[in-house]
Structure 1
Amino acid sequence: MGDGALSLWERSSTARVMPSARPRKLAKVPFVELADGRLQGVVSSGSDARRVYVSSVEAGSYAFTCSTNNNRPCGGGRGWFCNHIRALIGEAVLQYGLERVTRYLKVEDPADAPDVHSLTSAMAGTRPAQGDRSTAAQVFSRFLRHLAYLELDPSTAPVPEMQWFPTTRAVA
């Protein structure tokens, strides 16, 4: 938001957690988010279980990037959306809903995108440019941070790095 206005989540001390629009399986796309003006996430490799790709599509321009977690470029796509980008878009629609993803990515005419395939085709039809791969490290780092929370044992004890969050009750 270039005009100096802050979004609701930037002005508040908490972020609202929205449930998935539909259940999704995390094996292919374990991490997807709408953040920093991009749809971005981590997509598992179809050929190597130890390899993941960090993929993103920029809102408005649809500039895209896809590279391994070691910042090696994806071998697919060749100037068009690769299968990793297509999987990311599909999972984003499951997570956030078609309308929200379409609006976030600034698809010109949402009526042209009544489903995931149409949405992907509408964006790919513009022949999007390659985006800036320098953001991949940030996305992958956030993914690893989310994974670390999954490894914690269930507990009601506070998580040290989250103690700065305000509480609703007074601490004695």
Structure 2
Amino acid sequence: MGDGALSVWEKSSTARVVPSARPRKLAKVPFVELADGRLQGVVSSGSDIGRVYVSSVEAGTYAFACSTNNNRPCGGARGWFCNHIRALISEAVLQYGVERVARYLKVEVSDGASADAGSLTDAMTAVRPGQGDSSAAAQVFSRFLRHLAYLELAPSTPPLPEMQWFPTTRAVA
């Protein structure tokens, strides 16, 4: 590519997506991301099909937050990781791999090669994390809804107007 030629994916309106470390089912945790210094995402309620929770764990401090999509606090996240946060961690490990999640959250896992979501959770809860700030929940939920909207679009090759800020040509030297 040193001759200035662009690859096929550089010419298209789409970008390569890093595949999941392992396949995951989206019914329980439809959205998970490592962003803004947190592991954060949307977790379906186990008891109400119309309710979802926005959960997060902060990198380094492991401060956590969990609330419904309309900002009601999770009843299970009182001084300890609730089941929503545990599900989020498990799905993040499936999506990104245990090494990447541990590195992002700054978790030291002692069992190395045999590390899994359970050992990450154990290492984080061993330091007794406190309640985190749930103010980012609205932004996380908004990103999730925006991702859902893309699923409703018919497949096409023209660029999407809201994605126009992505560079479409190589930079001029």
**TM interval, short-chain normalised:** 0.7 to 0.9
In the TM superposition, residue 157 of structure 1 has moved relative to its aligned partner by: 2.4
In the TM superposition, residue 118 of structure 1 has moved relative to its aligned partner by: 1.2
What secondary structure does 1:120 align onto?
Answer: helix
In the TM superposition, residue 110 of structure 1 has moved relative to its aligned partner by: 2.5
Out of 121-130 and 23-32, give the one that drifted further: 121-130
In the TM superposition, residue 16 of structure 1 has moved relative to its aligned partner by: 6.1
Aligned partner of 1:45 in structure 2 is 45
What secondary structure does 1:33 align onto?
Answer: strand
In the TM superposition, residue 166 of structure 1 has moved relative to its aligned partner by: 2.2
Matched residue pairs, number? Answer: 155
Q: Aligned partners of 2:132 and 2:18: how far apart in 1?
A: 28
In the TM superposition, residue 77 of structure 1 has moved relative to its aligned partner by: 3.1
Q: Which runs of 4+ in 1 moved over 4 A?
A: none
Amino acid at match of 1:35: A
What secondary structure does 1:154 align onto?
Answer: coil
Aligned partner of 1:10 in structure 2 is none
Aligned: 1:140 with 2:153 = no
In the TM superposition, residue 29 of structure 1 has moved relative to its aligned partner by: 0.2
In the TM superposition, residue 73 of structure 1 has moved relative to its aligned partner by: 0.3
Aligned partner of 1:130 in structure 2 is 131
- Normalised by the length of structure 1, the TM-score is 0.85
Amino acid at match of 1:110: V
In the TM superposition, residue 122 of structure 1 has moved relative to its aligned partner by: 1.0
Out of 25-34 and 116-125, give the one that drifted further: 116-125
Aligned partner of 2:117 in structure 1 is 116
- Cα contact 2:66–2:77 (8 A) shared by 1: no
Kindly report the root-mean-square deviation, in angstroms, between the aligned alpha carbons of the 2 structures: 1.7
- Cα contact 1:98–1:116 (8 A) shared by 2: yes
Out of 156-165 and 120-129, give the one that drifted further: 156-165
Out of 111-120 and 35-44, give the one that drifted further: 111-120
Q: Aligned partners of 1:150 and 1:53: how far apart in 2?
A: 21
- Cα contact 1:112–1:119 (8 A) shared by 2: no
Q: Aligned partners of 2:167 and 2:148: how far apart in 1?
A: 24
In the TM superposition, residue 79 of structure 1 has moved relative to its aligned partner by: 0.7
Sequence identity (%):
83
- Cα contact 1:112–1:122 (8 A) shared by 2: no
1:35-114 paired onto structure 2 within 5 Å: 35-107=35-107, 109-112=108-111, 114=115
Q: Aligned partners of 2:15 and 2:154: how far apart in 1?
A: 23
- Cα contact 2:109–2:123 (8 A) shared by 1: no
What secondary structure does 2:41 align onto?
Answer: strand
Amino acid at match of 2:29: V
Q: What runs of 5+ residues in structure 1 fail to find an aligned partner?
A: 1-13
